[in-house]
Structure 1
Amino acid sequence: MYLGLDLGTSGVKAMLIDGDQRVVAHATGALEQSRPHPGWSEQEPAAWVAATEDALGQLKISHGAELSAVRGIGLSGQMHGATLLDASDKVLRPCMLWNDTRSHAEAAALDADPRFRELTGNIVFPGFTAPKVLWVRNNEPDVFAQTATVLLPKDYLRLWLTGEKVSEMSDASGTSWLEVGERRWSRALLDATGLTEDHMPSLIEGTEVSGTLRGELASRWGMGEGVVVAGGAGDNAASACGMGTVHAGSAFISLGTSGVLFAANDSFLPNAESAVHAFCHALPGTWHQMGVILAATDSLNWLARTLDVPAGDLAGELGTNLYAPDGPIFLPYLGGERTPHNDSVSRGSFIGMSHATDRAALTRAVLKGVAFAFRDNLAALREAGTDLTRMTAIGGGSRSRYWLKVLATALDLPIDLPADGDFGGAFGAARLGLIAAENADPLAVCAAPPTAETIEPETQLSQAFTDAYGRFRALYPAIKGAMN
């Protein structure tokens, strides 16, 4: 048996798979975000441990025999978080999460140093780890002075599981401290934030062994000795391993809280000006590019909360027939935006509402606005050298047939739906645990699931969607100042 642990923003998911990669069981321990000020988003690392214990406690009760047979564990995690530890490994402050944008001034200052884009191949985004640590240095100097180690969220879990301070290439790529093409920490970039390599965990590939499970935890969960813990991956790279998006030209579109358009590459293809992320993949000798929007299903969930109607009901009442994209336009920048704008202070907007605008029109506008934001991402990927011919949809939003039709038509690309199953971060992490435990071939293990169905673009509406996208594209620069 092999165990995947996926540390997300809203919970820790634990998944057991067998040697044939069949999902045997899964469980989740819940998490909550703290937002003490506008633009802030934090979690206590102790809550990650508690949620993991909760999920594994559930599995021990429901599938104790299978849990006891685990040979390898893989980790997946939300990226970019700044977990600061003192010399005794005590947590110094709540972790600033991926969607915490308070360090926008620090990010701009680091990005103005040409070494960052040159060595990392990426813009220094406010959500990345380095500007968060610089914010602590500027605003909480006592905390910074005590900081002995900086860990990413899943790597804090690893420390608890194994006692080892280790990270891997895909997650480290989102710190702004990694020379992504060379797959190593940059002394120069660390120095720019007042740190050294001594503050950093050691680096391995996601398929390698990072350590073994501590005996106390192995006994608690009924496991034997020598259970290995793989390097693992950042959440999107782990999902790519679960989806088999590991070969150049393969891609997925993730409709989760945030939105991701992810393309695998067999070489490092940076183009920071496009605001596309160019990161290491979890498999050795591979990289990936991705465009990121900060509010995908989060936009629909916001509308659902505002209207006091479940999000599934809002999407469901639209039916499945796609019509021309008339009515109001929605800019989904509720908490700023990454690709392509790199604007942490922009905010969402409805444009073009009238007396006739009803609930369904608002829902259509939200789904359409997110689709057009993905079209921005697709254009940025093409500008960065990656031209896609199709993609696979994952994430909670992919359950909406109407939304998939909007996406396929807005992007003018077919969208595949995988066969029934959970192929996300926890599954990808379990695959990495299998590879590390058995020294298995990564490409053979990380195969793509069969396609159950393909959503084709509705070509008769292509021009109407292109025209509507042009109006969408014109709005951001026109009202940028008013949104800030």
Structure 2
Amino acid sequence: MTTRQLFLGIDCGTQGTKAIILDATSGQVLGQGAAAHTMISGANGRREQDTHQWLEAFALVTRRALLAANVDGQAILGIGVSGQQHGLVLLDEQGQVLRPAKLWCDTETTAENDRLLTYLGGEKGSLERLGVVIAPGYTVSKLLWTKEQHPAVFSRIAKILLPHDYLNFWLTGRSCSEYGDASGTGYFNVRTRQWDLQLLRDIDASGRLQAALPELIDAHQAVGTILPAIAEHLGLNPNALVSSGGGDNMMGAIGTGNIQPGAITMSLGSSGTVYAYAEAPKVSPDASVATFCSSSGGWLPLICTMNLTNATGAIRELFDLDLDAFNALVAQAPIGAEGVSMLPFLNGERVPPLPHATGSLHGLTIDNLTRANLCRAAVEGTTFGLRFGLDLLRQNGLQSRSICLIGGGSKSAVWRQIVADIMNTPVICTEQSEAAALGAAIQAAWCKSWSNGHEDTLADLCQRCVKLDLNSETLPVAANVATFQQAYERYRLHVATL
């Protein structure tokens, strides 16, 4: 009988924390757990979270997953943590959190980001210097904002961490970051894989910021083992290795087997992302393409839209529909929603680059103003944003034979068909829809393997643990593709007027 090798994957996202228990020997997910987070929102675009919620959720989902898997926590060999990207967690000398974490979807720092971008020489200067164009969601503008709005907090900063770095610090007591998540800070050079220390000195000449940076480690390196008190609190093996972890997109790439060229992952979550694997940092001249590092040793060219299930969810709430009723209405309306177009930019938008945009409805008449058309227009409008981004990736030389679909929206058969038709590409889902938590567990198994002298490569582990759901495979329908192309052109015209 082959021995089980058990790993815990954690994904700390905007809406909640998820955990899965993976047996890396059989590739089976044995159990899962989930817990919700709440958000601190303000009228000025403030989107923050109390980090204590993350720790409570971490403990809760770990217990739930162990229980569901019927596994003893002492049998866990390693832990991988995936976290929402770009968030800012500030600690003092004692390792205490100084203020709520500012999140990726926070736009309160737009003015600071604009000033930093001008200082870097605009989009072109930012691309040349960092390999990415800083956006309001990135971490760097949050630091400048803290310095100006909260000088007393700023003067006490001893550690600057991203959400997943903070969870790793809580688990191990060690302050580290890996290249993938670090890519989204705005003070990291994705080509050289190093912090841009001068940029931080320019924000604050005292040197406080560079002294507070975490140490950079490779994706296959472990941060360390769990602190005894935390291991006891979580009911886990104190010798379990904590892997480097990474941002949710980087972990989602591993969890969909997107670790070699040719694969494209599309995530239908609160925000929408499309990303592919690249072996070299071929930085796109288009500011909307973020050439992040991957958490598997390569690069991960990525586009991110700020609005996806948050927009479709808003329409669902407006009409008080559950998911099944919403999907039925979407399916009822024809392609193009009888001329109704929704520009779903409820959070502003990154792709297309319209940070100050608001949502709007176009083409309404007395005849086409129906619930079905509005539901359909929300799904089409958000998906057109992803098509816009996919076109940018394709212009940068990325090939796609098929698209691996993850996130909450991927569970809808009607939405899968819409994606296949709009992208004119076959789509398929993974059996495990929590791709980031799965990727984190796979990465933990990879780190453990490295520490044992390489019995498994990352490719071996992905082949064993990432399973495609063949029932979900959806092919584009030629007639639909042509009709959608017209609706997409209409969307582009509406966007152009903004």
TM bucket (normalised to shorter chain) is over 0.9
Match of 1:252 in 2: 265
Q: What secondary structure, in the 3-state scheme, does the structure 2 residue paired with 1:426 have?
A: helix
The answer to which of 57-66 and 15-24 deviates more is 57-66
- In the alignment, the residues of structure 2 paired with residue 18 and residue 199 of structure 1 have an alpha-carbon distance, to the nearest angstrom, of 37
From 349, 355, 359, the equivalent of 1:348 is 359
Question: Which blocks of at least 5 consecutive residues in structure 1 are unaligned?
Answer: none
The answer to which of 317-326 and 98-107 deviates more is 317-326
Aligned residue identity for 1:404: R
From 101, 104, 122, the equivalent of 1:95 is 101
Q: What secondary structure, in the 3-state scheme, does the structure 2 residue paired with 1:175 have?
A: coil
User: 1:168 and 1:461, CA in 2 relative to 1: closer, same or farther beyond 3 A?
Assistant: same
Aligned residue identity for 2:459: L
- 1:161-176 matches, within 5 Å, as 161-176=171-186
Q: Aligned pair 1:276/2:289, yes or no? A: yes
Asked if 2 retains the 8 angstrom alpha-carbon contact of 1:431 and 1:446, the reply is: yes
1:322 Cα shift? Answer: 6.0
From 225, 241, 252, the equivalent of 2:254 is 241
CA RMSD of aligned residues (A): 1.8
1:376 Cα shift? Answer: 0.7
- TM normalised by structure 2 equals 0.91
Match of 1:131 in 2: 141
Superposed CA deviations along residues 23-42 of structure 1, whole A, max 9, x for unmatched, are 11111122111103331110
- 1:10-409 matches, within 5 Å, as 10-19=15-24, 20-63=26-69, 65-112=71-118, 113-114=120-121, 116-194=126-204, 196-284=209-297, 286-319=298-331, 323=335, 326-341=338-353, 343-356=354-367, 357-409=369-421
Superposed CA deviations along residues 361-395 of structure 1, whole A, max 9, x for unmatched, are 10111111112111110121123332323211111
- In the alignment, the residues of structure 2 paired with residue 282 and residue 275 of structure 1 have an alpha-carbon distance, to the nearest angstrom, of 21
Asked if 1 retains the 8 angstrom alpha-carbon contact of 2:306 and 2:349, the reply is: yes
Q: What secondary structure, in the 3-state scheme, does the structure 2 residue paired with 1:73 have?
A: strand
From 433, 457, 471, the equivalent of 1:441 is 457
Aligned residue identity for 2:181: D
Aligned residue identity for 2:467: P
Q: What secondary structure, in the 3-state scheme, does the structure 1 residue paired with 2:35 have?
A: strand
Q: What secondary structure, in the 3-state scheme, does the structure 1 residue paired with 2:428 have?
A: strand
- In the alignment, the residues of structure 1 paired with residue 370 and residue 345 of structure 2 have an alpha-carbon distance, to the nearest angstrom, of 21
Aligned residue identity for 1:441: T
Match of 1:432 in 2: 443
1:64 Cα shift? Answer: 6.0
Asked if 2 retains the 8 angstrom alpha-carbon contact of 1:322 and 1:406, the reply is: no
Q: Matched residues, percent identical? A: 30
Asked if 2 retains the 8 angstrom alpha-carbon contact of 1:130 and 1:193, the reply is: no
1:320 Cα shift? Answer: 7.7
- In the alignment, the residues of structure 2 paired with residue 340 and residue 266 of structure 1 have an alpha-carbon distance, to the nearest angstrom, of 26
Match of 1:462 in 2: 481
Match of 2:492 in 1: 473
User: 1:475 and 1:157, CA in 2 relative to 1: closer, same or farther beyond 3 A?
Assistant: same
Asked if 2 retains the 8 angstrom alpha-carbon contact of 1:108 and 1:124, the reply is: no
1:4 Cα shift? Answer: 0.6
1:47 Cα shift? Answer: 1.1
* Count of residue correspondences: 476
Superposed CA deviations along residues 443-475 of structure 1, whole A, max 9, x for unmatched, are 221235235043122211333222221111111
Superposed CA deviations along residues 291-317 of structure 1, whole A, max 9, x for unmatched, are 111111111101011122224321123
Aligned residue identity for 2:435: G
Superposed CA deviations along residues 40-72 of structure 1, whole A, max 9, x for unmatched, are 110011111111111123345555643220011
1:90 Cα shift? Answer: 1.7
User: 1:55 and 1:141, CA in 2 relative to 1: closer, same or farther beyond 3 A?
Assistant: same
- In the alignment, the residues of structure 1 paired with residue 127 and residue 178 of structure 2 have an alpha-carbon distance, to the nearest angstrom, of 20
1:241 Cα shift? Answer: 0.4
The answer to which of 255-264 and 265-274 deviates more is 265-274
Match of 1:8 in 2: 13
Q: What secondary structure, in the 3-state scheme, does the structure 2 residue paired with 1:150 have?
A: strand
The answer to which of 216-225 and 422-431 deviates more is 216-225
1:412 Cα shift? Answer: 1.5
Aligned residue identity for 1:97: L
Question: Which blocks of at least 5 consecutive residues in structure 2 are unaligned?
Answer: 1-5, 451-455
1:86 Cα shift? Answer: 1.5
User: 1:408 and 1:322, CA in 2 relative to 1: closer, same or farther beyond 3 A?
Assistant: farther
Asked if 2 retains the 8 angstrom alpha-carbon contact of 1:121 and 1:272, the reply is: no
- In the alignment, the residues of structure 1 paired with residue 98 and residue 374 of structure 2 have an alpha-carbon distance, to the nearest angstrom, of 43
Q: What secondary structure, in the 3-state scheme, does the structure 2 residue paired with 1:125 have?
A: coil
- In the alignment, the residues of structure 2 paired with residue 220 and residue 326 of structure 1 have an alpha-carbon distance, to the nearest angstrom, of 56
Asked if 2 retains the 8 angstrom alpha-carbon contact of 1:256 and 1:297, the reply is: yes
Aligned residue identity for 2:437: A
